[in-house]
Structure 1
């Protein structure tokens, strides 16, 4: 009975994420307002349902977070170069990753780094992936959670964002399985977005 209840909670969380993200991507003019509210709602739901893992000391999750975030950006950077070199139809896809939804104002950067990024890791890895890991094998858990993480970005209408979600989702899900630390994932995600959106935007 308890396991069944856990399933219902996860399914409800996934449906909730889809409904919230569907409305988030509908109107670009209020995107940041709705996205912020949606992530706050998902954070609240997650922490009420599941205890967040933090099995690494501060020094370790900072080091691994920074290294993994920079490495993931490096992977995107190399992918962008490769797409330009072979002149595929997807050329420039990495550069267009957040083009449509990129923050343009200071407050948008603040909510991105303080609410949206932590919220994505808390919900998709700290809640959804953790639930899968409690029921099925590691590899299917990583693949299913990544698929679900990617699925909500379908509403953006951007194939570039979908492709990026698959790659990043696989990396962060694998990192969670390895280190069991949500703070580590948040640092990794923060560093990745800092490089991608602020320090070294790709072209």
Structure 2
């Protein structure tokens, strides 16, 4: 029984730990970029050690699919934002507040996003948590559960639209990972969405 429970307790403890660290990261915008980067760097390393990262497609394929799905993800988020904007101006206020508190504002923020934060999020939520959940449920429900857990990680920011966006993107990238078995593809999709969201076509423009 202990041998069965040990792996379960191990990844559950890691999940609790990441939530605790993210709580502290979002609790103070002055330390956010340091704390969030540290958290993702730590759990990226643990995902490499404790999980199995898949990469079964060629470079051209993960670039094409990654950019395509990243653009699709951005489009869905932008449509949802415009939809909420029609009914309440709180959508605009919440986006502006989030960007003021936690949005990237310098070159080094974008460097951290591309090199550490985005790869760390994908390696942990899709490459580690999603795969561990498959030991207890079907791939469909493991994608659903890991996407919700990913969304909940944004809840500490108080940005409810960000929670919905994280769940939506988690579903798209989670199913894409199950289909293509390529972590670089998922990372490229995430980077593409982030570049569009913060640099090319920001929602508050």
TM-score, length-normalised on structure 1? 0.92
5+ long unaligned stretches in structure 1: none
Note closer, same or farther for the CA distance 1:181–1:134 as it changes in structure 2 (3 Å cut): farther
| Deviation string, structure 1 residues 41-94 (Cα, Å, up to 9, x no partner) | 11111111012111111111111000000111111222223233x324654378
Partner of 2:87: 87
Residues matched between the structures, number: 202
C-alpha distance in 1, partners of 2:97/2:65? Answer: 24
**Is the deviation greater in 188-197 or in 56-65?**
56-65
Partner of 1:124: 125
TM-score, length-normalised on structure 2? 0.91
For the residue of structure 1 that corresponds to 2:154, the secondary structure is helix
5+ long unaligned stretches in structure 2: none
RMSD of aligned Cα (Å): 1.9
8 A contact 2:33–2:109 mirrored in 1: yes
Q: Following superposition of structure 1 onto structure 2, how do residues 1-203 of structure 1 map, counting pairs within 5 Å? A: 2-84=3-85, 86-88=86-88, 91-92=91-92, 95-96=95-96, 98-99=98-99, 100-203=101-204
Note closer, same or farther for the CA distance 1:50–1:126 as it changes in structure 2 (3 Å cut): same
| Deviation string, structure 1 residues 5-40 (Cα, Å, up to 9, x no partner) | 321221022011111101111111111011111111
Higher helix share: 2
